[in-house]
Chains A and B, each alone.
Chain A
Amino acid sequence: MDALNFFAMSWLSPELLGLTALGTFLGIYVGAIPGLSVTMAVSILISFTFSWDVNNALCLMVGVYMGGVYGGSRTAILLNIPGAPSAIATALDGYPLAKKGLAGEAIGLSTVMSVVGGFVGIIVLALAAPTISEFAITFQPRDYMMLGILGIMLVGSLSGNSLAKGIFAGAFGLLIGTVGLDPMTAEERFTFGIIELWDGINPVAVMIGLFGISEALHQLHHMDKAIIKQKIARIIPKGSDVKKYLPLSLQTSFIGVIVGALPGTGGDIAALMAYDHAKRVTKDPEVPFGDGAKEGLIAPESANNAAVGGAYIPMLTLGIPGDAVTAVFIGALFIHGLNPGPLLMVEQPHMFWFTVGNLTLANIFVLIFGLTGIRLFSKIVECPKGVLIPLIFLLSIVGAYAINNALTDIWWMLAFGGLGYFMRLYGFPVGPVILGVILSSLTDENWRRAILTERNSMADLFLNLFSSPLSTLLFVTIVLILFTQTPIWTTWLKPKWTKK
């Protein structure tokens, strides 16, 4: 009964309701602007809401978080600039849809499926938080390492026509990811003694350049091409569509919750894994992936919003942040005199259900705000190129600067934009590059922690892959994924009924 009271707290108070709505609305726009991150917005709000009552402050921040994660898809679909790394996979099929004049439908569908994902995350948080957080912290360095390797294998899904070019791009991304101080020994790698390179090249700058700028440069080839009229008759997706894609959305939502709950990984990796999953399970997409397959849009959108609930799981139960934003939430709770930690559920029992209720509310607002204003937004794509291209440049530059208030990031962004343009020109996919950058440190750090743990013995590391069910499962998955791609499997062993 108490739980229900706390759950409904933000629903019944007009003030809290209003703040959640405001937060969600702001979040969608913060999330949509590349470089302006939810993490940054929430930490600015900490100072802004310092003197407020803690519940009011949390409502605003939860709204921004929920709205922000969703908002990343907007610019990904409309302009091919993902608002955040978790919307990279969204751009892969969302933008082709917009180019076909289906931006409205794409946004509508992504909104509904984001909300579905959000609810799955919240339900799992409400029902299974303690179990999942205990499971999440048992991930050993070797497990994270294998998760990283699994992630790297997504190159196959992101490559497009030529796997070789995809692998090349992915490897290049991994290399970019190694720039900076070595996380283990603080030795400088590829820094040439330049202090600005110590923390490496920011993945968001790379992302904005490879997607946004390279697209804008590419558009210069087609200045004379007629503008595609956006069909805006249908915004709210067809019931039959929702029904058709719901199973996929639910599956990828679960990927999102689990990957989001792991303290070492977040929505970006979840969304890419979900995209890969969609590609594997969809036997006959209406449109091929990469050309505007709706499955490729739904999967990452469900997963990254489900990851929000996931990230709260270790935070509320153990005081361990599931991602960068929940880390800031922990700071906020501390500043408001609550002691975030494993005892939070005991000392502040209302906090758990209050947050769950508030997240639910914010998720509903995502649906409301997400589905309004789409017509107006779709018009952006109809802008004349002479307006649109400078706009993309402006947005990209502002975004790159906003990451860290550093000019360096603007130069990197522009450089990767130029590189991305030539990569496209010669048929190299840009997705694997950013995949490599994101996964580089995860894999690198955890591989080295894993091998250090085994006192540099490869044999021990290999044996220990079978010491826990989790490691065994991950290892077997990797082996199977690789094996099913070999000629031995495809020509001899593959079951007949799956062959076409």
Chain B
Amino acid sequence: MKKTTIALLAAFSLSSTASFADYPSKDIQGVIMWGAGGSTDTVMRSIAPHVEKELGTDLILTNKSGGVGAISMKYVNKKKADGYTLLMGAENPQMHKVLGLSNIDYSDMTPISLLARGTPMIMARNDAPYNTMQEFIDYAKANPNKVKIGSTGKGGLTSIVLAMLASQVKLDYISIPYKGDGPALTALQGGAIDVMPAVLGAAIEQIKAGRMKALSMVDVERNALLPDVAPITDTLPGMKSYLPWGPFFGVFVKKGTPDEAIEKLQSAFQKAATNPEFVSLMQNRGYTIMNTSGEAASTFLEAYRSTSSWLVHDAGFSKFSPEKFDIRKP
């Protein structure tokens, strides 16, 4: 009995150190950073079947939400670096260091694919007395501490968009936190808040239906899906230095994963992300397909981290200075 156990163990250890040429030889676990039904979850579940086809193996998806994404980061980095555990996440960890939430971010992992990014917008409730960004700024200046702006907590998309705004124009408003943009946009429709910055995809259906109005596209150009909405740089040209900026969805593995596995995963995700079904899904929802990996992905991630980290630092709600982590000034 004992002998067979030892033999088996030896066989296992051999097979695990064996060449990764036959990767993947078993199911791959995909750890989704956010809960079921969220935008990260939806994006990952819509690409997974196409990736499975490319890899010829099953992708078992589990949601491991919590700690603003830090729990899933910690979990994947505790696993073996063998390419059988993927982290399927969003932009959040890039802010973790300066916010003091965690000591690992995406620079400590290997990007497999950056799938898509979203464009932030600034929405207002339908009966608000302003229709454009300029009118909103004028109104907020004339009525200090009156406009209620929803937020999704420090380091979230809203906080960064508002930090960008604060760098350009001084506004006094009331900030009301919600758990995610879904509940906040619901509150916007119910009149509990007046203004809410959120990603285009979360609001587009409501805007089309005329249930809320778009004040501005937080981008340098107009978006094909909502061509009537002016980019924020029309009103505040100074914003150009931060834009384009937006939340993103990406797939990562632990550092130290064998190159063969990384290459196979990268090419599988790259092919999957060009699947017409996936592309049209993403475009309908207002996401810009990125489908980048390797060097290009690392550059984007670094740019995102440095813009966002310094913004929150300058806005005064970082816990640590970005300098502490050698995050360059943009």
Contact = CB atoms under 8 A, between A and B. Distances in A.
A453 B206 CA distance: 24
Interface string B86-104: 0000000000000100100
Given A445-B179, A449-B176, A452-B175, A140 B37 contact: no
Contacts of B38: 327, 331
B206 A140 contact: no
Contact of B42 (A39, A139, A331): A331
A453 B70 CA distance: 30
A235 interface: no
B10 interface: no
Contacts of A344: 205
Interface string B194-221: 0000000000111011010000000000
Contact of A138 (B63, B190, B204): B190
B37 A327 contact: yes
B280 interface: yes
A453 B148 CA distance: 7
Contact of A195 (B102, B187, B211): B102
A324 B36 contact: yes
Contacts of A327: 36-38, 182
B66 A324 contact: no
Interface in B1-21: none
A351 interface: no
A335 interface: yes
Contacts of B211: 318, 342
B191 interface: yes
A185 B99 CA distance: 12
B62 interface: yes
A126 interface: no
Given A263-B183, A334-B281, A341 B205 contact: yes
Contacts of A341: 204-206, 208-209
A183 interface: yes
Contact of A324 (B37, B64, B145, B209): B37
B238 interface: no
A337 B280 contact: yes
Contacts of A139: 190
Interface string A159-200: 000000000000000000000010111100000000110110
Interface string A385-409: 0000000000000000000111000
Interface residues of A, number: 51
B110 interface: no
A339 B208 CA distance: 11
A455 to B, nearest CB: 6
Give the interface residue-count category, chain B. 35 or more
B67 A195 contact: yes
Contacts of B67: 181, 195, 198-199
Nearest to B178: A449
B192 interface: yes
B61 interface: yes
B209 A342 contact: yes
A449 B62 CA distance: 32
A498 interface: no
A46 B191 contact: no
A47 B154 contact: no
Given A335-B281, A342-B209, A455 B145 contact: yes
Nearest to B73: A195
Contact of A335 (B36, B45, B204): B45
B176 A43 contact: no
A483 interface: no
B226 interface: no
A39 B176 contact: no
A341 B46 CA distance: 19
A330 interface: yes
A404 B37 CA distance: 15
Contact of B174 (A46, A263, A328, A455): A455
Interface string B163-192: 000000000001111110011001101111
A328 B37 contact: yes
A263 B49 contact: no
Contacts of A342: 205-206, 209, 211
B41 interface: yes
B74 interface: yes
A335 B155 CA distance: 28
Contacts of B176: 141, 449, 452-453
A50 B177 CA distance: 35
Nearest to B63: A43
B24 interface: no
Given A137-B190, A196-B71, A340 B205 contact: yes
B70 A195 contact: yes
A343 interface: yes
B153 interface: yes
Interface in A124-170: 137-141
A288 to B, nearest CB: 39
Given A337-B281, A404-B64, A343 B209 contact: yes
Interface string A309-346: 00000000011110010011111001101011111100
A8 interface: no
Nearest to A339: B205
B61 A47 contact: yes
Contacts of A329: 37
Which of A199, A263, A331, A406 has the largest number of chain B CB atoms within 10 A? A331
Given A318-B189, A328-B36, A452 B70 contact: no
A140 B182 contact: no
A40 interface: yes
A264 interface: yes
Contacts of A47: 45, 48-49, 61
Most buried by A among B189, B192, B280: B192
A13 interface: no
Contacts of A491: none
B205 A198 contact: no
B37 A198 contact: no
Contacts of A405: 62, 64
B285 interface: yes
Given A331-B36, A334-B281, A43 B41 contact: yes
A51 interface: yes
Contact of A334 (B177, B187, B285): B285
A195 B71 contact: yes
6 contacts: A50-B46, A137-B186, A199-B65, A324-B37, A341-B208, A341-B209
- Top 4 A-B pairs ranked by shortest CB distance? A341-B205, A327-B37, A342-B209, A43-B36
Given A198-B71, A320-B189, A337-B280, 9 more contacts: A43-B63, A47-B48, A137-B190, A181-B68, A195-B67, A331-B36, A334-B46, A341-B208, A452-B174
